[in-house]
């Protein structure tokens, strides 16, 4: 082989080394960018999970409050039913005395009238408000969970891209190493060139 042919082979391999070095720089930058995106998504997912946990804690507390109101309402209704039954049992016959008749009428009104209904309905209203608030908070939590799933899916896609980029880096490193060996080989061949 002539000296010029050997020098041409050396230049050819040096150009490839430069090309591979530039490719590695670009791929490493791309890999760093992908890793930064994954880290940012992970940070956001952690923040979103904290928010979801907070919302779920609020839901738990509201449900406990709702259950207390429902127990209170049931207890109130049960006691009221016992009072009405006791009253009806004690005053099942109409007495002749006008005062007692007015007393009975007033007690019936008190036990089953608007005050009882207002109190009972007030408890129902409180339970309904709690249920609406729970539903509202649950909607927010569900929205955050969908956002978490979206970010996790994006991370899966980024990880596939990271693996692909890492494979390209490995192949380019292998090609670079081979071309450096070829340069060394051709430089050694220079002494034998004519």
pLDDT per residue as tens digits for the range 128-181: 999 999 999 999 999 999 999 999 999 999 999 999 999 999 999 999 999 999
Q: What is the pLDDT of residue 80?
A: 81
Q: What is the pLDDT of residue 95?
A: 58
Q: What is the pLDDT of residue 99?
A: 58
Torsion of CA 98, 99, 100, 102, to 10 degrees: 90
Residue of 8, 32, 54, 14 lying closest to 162 (CA atoms): 32
Q: Which residues of the chain have pLDDT under 70?
A: 91-113
Q: What is the pLDDT of residue 117?
A: 80
The DSSP letter of residue 194 is -
Q: Which CATH number fits domain 3-192: 1.10.238, 3.40.50, 1.10.20, 1.10.287?
A: 1.10.287
Instruction: Name 169's Cβ contacts closer than 8 Å, sequence gap at least 6.
Output: 24, 27, 28, 31
Q: What is the pLDDT of residue 94?
A: 63
Q: What is the pLDDT of residue 119?
A: 82
* 2 φψ region: left (φ > 0), alpha (ψ -120 to 50), beta (else): beta
* 25 φψ region: left (φ > 0), alpha (ψ -120 to 50), beta (else): alpha
Q: What is the pLDDT of residue 79?
A: 83
Q: What is the pLDDT of residue 116?
A: 76
Locus of tokens 């309904």 = 128
Specify the pTM.
0.75
Residue 136 half-sphere exposure, CB side, CA atoms within 13 Å? 7
Residue 115 in 3-state DSSP?
helix
Locus of tokens 């896609």 = 157
Q: What is the pLDDT of residue 85?
A: 80
């Amino acid at each position: 082989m002539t000296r010029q042919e050997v020098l041409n082979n050396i230049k050819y391999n040096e150009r490839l080394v430069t090309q591979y070095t530039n490719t590695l720089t670009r791929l490493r930058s791309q890999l760093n960018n992908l890793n930064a995106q994954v880290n940012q998504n992970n940070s956001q997912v952690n923040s979103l999970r904290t928010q979801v946990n907070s919302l779920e804690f609020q839901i738990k507390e509201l449900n406990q409050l709702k259950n207390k109101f429902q127990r209170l309402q049931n207890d109130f209704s049960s006691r009221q039913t016992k009072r009405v039954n006791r009253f009806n049992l004690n005053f099942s016959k109409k007495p002749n005395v006008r005062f007692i008749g007015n007393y009975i009428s007033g007690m019936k009104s008190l036990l089953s009238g608007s005050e009882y209904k207002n109190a009972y309905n007030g408890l129902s209203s409180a339970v309904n408000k709690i249920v609406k608030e729970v539903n509202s908070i649950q909607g927010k939590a569900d929205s955050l969970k969908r956002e978490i799933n979206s970010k996790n899916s994006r991370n899966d896609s980024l990880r596939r891209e990271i693996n692909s980029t890492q494979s390209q880096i490995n192949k380019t490193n292998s090609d670079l190493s081979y071309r450096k060996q070829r340069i060394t080989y051709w430089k050694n061949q220079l002494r034998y060139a004519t």
